Structure 1
Amino acid sequence: MLNALSNNFDLGLRFEYIDSSSIAKEKLPDLKNFKLKTVVKHFGLSAFRHHDATEDAIACAKIFLKLREHGEEETLQTLGDESAEFKGMVMSILADDEVNYKEAYELLYWLEDHVKVAKKHPNIYLKTKEVLDDDHLDRYEAKEMKAILNNVLRNIE
Structure 2
Amino acid sequence: MADGSSLFKVSIDFSQSHLFFPNIIHWILLILALLIALTEGPRYLRKRRALALEGNGNDKVAASKVASKVDWLRLIGMLVLTILYFFAMEPVGEIFPNTGLGFLLTSIPFMFLLSILFVHEPGRREFVTIALSSIISPVVAWYVLAQMFQITLP
Which TM-score applies when normalising by structure 1? 0.24
Greater RCO, 1 or 2 (C-alpha within 8 Å, sep 6+): 2
Which structure features the higher share of helix residues? 2
Q: Larger radius of gyration, structure 1 or 2?
A: 2
Which TM-score applies when normalising by structure 2? 0.25
